[in-house]
Amino acid sequence: MTTSTVTPRTDASSRNAAPRGADAGRRTGKRRRAATRGWLALFLAPAVALVSLVLFLPFIATVYRSFFSDNGLSRTWVGLQNYMTLMDDPNFDRSLLNTAIWTVGTLLLPVLLGLLIAVGTNNVGWGRVARFAVILPYALSGATTAILWNFMLATDGAINDMFGTFGLDTLQQEWLLEWPMNTIVMIIATTWQATGAAMILFLVGLQSIPSETIEAGRLDGATGLRMLVSVILPQLRPITVVVVGMSLVASLKTFDIVWLLTKGGPGTESETLALTMYRETFTLSRYGYGAAVAVILTIIVLTASWIYLRRQLRTTT
Amino acid sequence: MLRRLHGSLLIAVAAIWLVPSYLVVVNSFTAPDDYSGPSWWFESFEFLSNLQVAFETAAIGQAMWNSFLYSAGAGALAVLIAAMASFAVVIMPVKHPALWFWAIYAGTLLPLQVFLSPLFNGYAASSLYDTQYGMLLIYTTIAIPFAFFVIRNYMTTAPKEMMEAAQLDGAGWIMMFLRIHLPLARGALIAAFLFQFLATWNDLLFGITLSTSPNVRPLMAALGELNGQYAGLGPPVILAAGIVASLPTVILFLSFQRFFVGALRLAP
């Protein structure tokens, strides 16, 4: 550390103290700039090359492919035909509807519960225990969450068993085999897994509220719900944008849990866009059609991210 | 009265959240032959033999090693590459820094599904399909944009005097990167590494798309296959495997929660 801070200083001072001929100075300056450009390329190249080759190139290939009818062996240009067909495809409509349900569900449940639990446990003795219980599943993968909830939701699983024990046989159901019940219970499973992340972020937000603000609210006679609505919530707005954006984008990309719990079934009833793309491409080998689904998913995700990024930029500046 | 209600509400929340995990642990100890539906208390203590069945059926041990390799390797590589790019964009005199920023960061905004099919074809054509190098390549690349975002944000807060030292040439740049800026950004580097380690460990999509043999397949893909044999093997075996598969990330997450919060706040 010391050597590297000393070197540039002697370099700079010698240049200032004893200027060489203007010509020589210009030449070394030019060489220096060229060297810097070389180093710049070296530092940037790995990231830019990898992201371009492994991410952007496949992205462009997918967009291009969506204009073809392509079964893996032969391809013909069909223009916007794939997109037209999608609009009339009842499976695609269901997939869009499911994606919308997932989005609304995961915006409502984890965000709202995360907020409530954060507010309810902040500065409370027993809060730590509740927070630990809620945060624990966040470290689990989608696959492990699916395994756990498969055990809970299977027809001979823990939830039906529980209902049986309490004599509530009428409540027993085939949770994963009927739409829209399967989508709803999978959203609940995701809520169990994802609420912890929302809660942590809200806690960070809560702890950054200056205590004078709370004190001022208290002096104005605000307590309980009034305090929450008119003092605390407005202070949480910036972090709420982060939480909402995160949940929104995550819900649009939902794949793992549905793939392992229902495979999108029965039939294609519980498919989201991510699963429809996967089935069309890798199960049915309809590459062009699958690519069109991926492009539509991308447009939706980018629109959502844009709205959220723009709002986030506005709130932070 | 209100306080007592509050307290019992908190206990109820904790209980509801812990019930699934509790049931999974209890039932993972039941011997498959003893299993006759979910149990609320330990029936037997056959966790290890359940685990052994899982390890033999779906090569879970090999898959865990693979996932460790991918998570640690891709995490470290991605953080190094992202740190170099951050250094170039923030510290070095680059033209159009915003353009370069988006050229790298935009990768994290696209849904993974849009890469899958061309990647699969490209991997098949270049014999990267179903190889450890291929998996390391995709996990490293997919981790770069977000790691870059975290580290770049951190480097922009570097003190101004550091920028003024940027008047040296030749090997000066690399020394400055290694001796000054990497150590300074240590917190961001650790946060990005942990975040990407967890993300790679938990990935299912690339695992099932770009690999198939047990020698290459990451853990979540192996777990998925095991879950497909739910009826044949019985729930205790699958649950035991699920517990062992999540232990590393749960431990990592709980020990470094602070770092995760930092990275989480920036997640897209």
In this prediction, residue A14 carries a pLDDT of: 39
Cβ-defined contact of B114 to A294 (cutoff 8 Å): yes
Rounded to whole angstroms, the Cα distance separating B70 from B64 reads 10
Residue A116 tokens read as 């409530």
pLDDT band at residue B121 under the 50/70/90 scheme = very high
Q: What pLDDT band is residue B63 in, cutting at 50, 70 and 90?
A: very high
Residues 170-209 of chain B whose Cβ lies under 8 A from any Cβ of chain A: 170, 172-177, 179-180, 183, 198, 201-205, 209
Nearest CA in chain A to B112: A253
Best probe of the B interface among A54, A132, A159, A281, by most B CBs < 10 A, is A54
Range name among A22-26, B144-148, B149-153, B247-251 with the lowest pLDDT average: A22-26
> SS3 sequence, chain A?
CHHHHHHHHHHHHHHHHCCCCHHHHHHHHHHHHHHHHHHHHHHHHHHHHHHHHHHHHHHHHHHHHCCEEECCCCEEECCCHHHHHHHHCHHHHHHHHHHHHHHHHHHHHHHHHHHHHHHHHCCCCCHHHHHHHHHHHHHCCHHHHHHHHHHHHCCCCHHHHHHHHCCCHHHCCCCCCCCCHHHHHHHHHHHHHHHHHHHHHHHHHHHCCCHHHHHHHHHCCCCHHHHHHHHHHHHCHHHHHHHHHHHHHHHHCCCHHHHHHCCCCCCCCCCCHHHHHHHHHHHCCCHHHHHHHHHHHHHHHHHHHHHHHHHHHHHHC
**CB neighbour class for A22 (10 Å; exposed up to 12, middle 13-18, buried from 19):** exposed
Please say whether the beta carbons of A185 and A238 come within 8 A: no
Mean pLDDT of A278-286: 93
Q: What is the pLDDT of residue A313?
A: 59
Residue B164 has pLDDT above 70, yes or no: no
- Which residue of chain B is at minimal alpha-carbon distance from A40? B88
At residue B202, the pLDDT reads 93
pLDDT at A7: 34
How far apart are alpha carbons A202 and B259 in whole angstroms? 16
CA-based nearest residue in chain A for residue B200: A141
Nearest to B168 among A8, A47, A162 (CB): A8
Describe chain B by its helix, strand, coil percentages, rounded to 5: 75, 0, 25
Distance from CA of B104 to the nearest CA of A (A): 6
The pLDDT tens digits of the residues spanning A112-127 come to: 999 999 988 887 777 8
Q: How many CA atoms lie within 13 A of A112 on its CB side?
A: 7
- Domain assignment present for residue B25? The answer is no
List, as ranges, residues 239-258 from B with C-beta within 8 Å of A: 239, 241-242, 245-246, 249-250, 252-254, 257
Stated as kind and residue range, the H or E segment containing B92 is: none
End-to-end CA gap in chain A: 36
Residue B190 amino acid letter: I
DSSP B232-257: HH-HHHHHHHHHHHHHHHHHHHHHTH
Q: Hey, is B33 helix, strand or coil?
A: coil
**Mean pLDDT score of chain B:** 88
Going by C-alpha positions, the residue among A193, A294, A290, A176 that lies closest to residue A250 is A193
Q: Say yes or no to pLDDT of A306 above 60.
A: yes
Q: How many residues does chain A have?
A: 317
**Pair A301, A245: CB distance under 8 Å:** no
Distance CA B119, CA B124 (A): 8
- With a cut of 70, say whether residue A271 has pLDDT above it: yes
Is B18 domain-assigned? no
Termini Cα distance of chain B: 42
For residues B155-171, give the mean pLDDT.
Answer: 62
Give residue B258's pLDDT band: very low, low, confident or very high (50, 70, 90): confident
Q: How far apart, in whole angstroms, are the C-alpha atoms of residue A118 and residue A197? A: 11
Task: Give B-chain residues touching A162 at CB under 8 angstroms.
Answer: 38
Lowest-pLDDT choice from A53-57, A229-233, A305-309, B95-99: A305-309
Task: Answer yes or no: are the C-beta atoms of A5 and B165 closer than 8 Å.
Answer: yes
Taking CB atoms and an 8 Å cutoff, what residues of chain A touch B106?
56
Who among B119, B176, B261 is closest to A204 (CB)?
Answer: B261
Name chain B contacts of A152, Cβ cutoff 8 Å. 20, 23
Q: What pLDDT, in 10s, does the model give residues A3-23?
A: 333 333 333 333 444 444 455
Position B227 pLDDT exceeds 80: yes
Closest CA to A48 of B240, B26, B101: B101
- Asked whether A130 and B14 are in contact (CB, 8 A), the reply is yes
Kindly state whether residue B257 falls inside one of the protein's structural domains. Answer: yes
List the CATH number of the domain containing B161: 1.10.3720.10
Interface predicted TM-score of the whole assembly (ipTM), two decimals: 0.90
Residues of B in contact with A285 (CB under 8 A): none
In a domain, residue B98? The reply is: yes
* A147: nearest CB among B168, B242, B252: B242
What pLDDT, on the 0 to 100 scale, is given for residue A273?
94
Q: Is the pLDDT of residue B248 over 70?
A: yes
Cis preceding-peptide flag for A180 (omega within 30 of 0): yes
- Is residue B52 one of the residues assigned to a domain? no
pLDDT bin (cut points 50, 70, 90) of residue B36 is confident
The number of C-beta contacts closer than 8 angstroms across A and B is 285
Encode pLDDT of A160-219 as tens digits. 988 988 888 888 888 999 989 999 999 999 999 999 989 988 998 888 888 888 888 888
Give the mutation candidate from A2, A36, A202, A299 for the B interface (greatest B CB count, under 10 A).
A36
Query: Which residue on chain A is closest to B178 by alpha carbon?
Result: A1
Check if the beta carbon of residue B252 is closer than 8 Å to that of residue A138: no
Contact A274 B113 (CB under 8 A): yes
Query: What's the mean pLDDT in A40-62?
Result: 95
- Residue A27's pLDDT is 62
Say if B6 falls within a structural domain.
Answer: no
For chain A, give the longest Cα–Cα distance: 98
* B259 inside domain: yes
Is B10–A120 a contact, with Cβ atoms under 8 angstroms apart?
yes
| Domain containing residue B210 | 59-227+247-264
B202/A143 Cβ within 8 A: yes
pLDDT digits (tens, 9 = 90+) for B78-114: 999 999 999 999 888 888 888 999 999 988 889 999 9
pLDDT at B171: 52
Q: What gap in Å lies between CA A234 and CA A219, rounded to an integer?
A: 18
A238: number of CA atoms within 13 Å, CB side?
A: 13
Q: Are B132 and B163 in contact (CB under 8 A)?
A: no
Mean pLDDT, residues A69-98: 92
Residues A211-250 pLDDT 10s? 888 888 888 877 777 888 888 888 888 888 888 888 888 8
Minimal CA separation from A168 to chain B, in Å = 16
Best CA proximity match to B130, nearest among B207, B236, B34, B47: B207
Q: Does B230 touch chain A (CB under 8 A)?
A: yes
Cross-chain CB nearest to A161 (options B7, B17, B38): B38
* B96 within a domain of the structure (yes/no): yes
pLDDT digits (tens, 9 = 90+) for A96-149: 999 999 999 988 899 999 999 998 888 777 788 888 899 999 888 999 999 999
DSSP B107: G
pLDDT at B214: 92
- Closest CA–CA distance from residue B133 to any residue of chain A (Å): 13
Q: Is the dihedral of CA A5, A7, A10, A11 positive or negative?
A: negative
User: Once rounded to an integer, what is the mean pLDDT over residues B19-44?
Assistant: 88
Q: How many domains does chain B have?
A: 1
Within 10 Å of residue B214's Cβ, how many Cβ atoms?
A: 16
Q: Map residue B172 onto helix, strand or coil.
A: helix
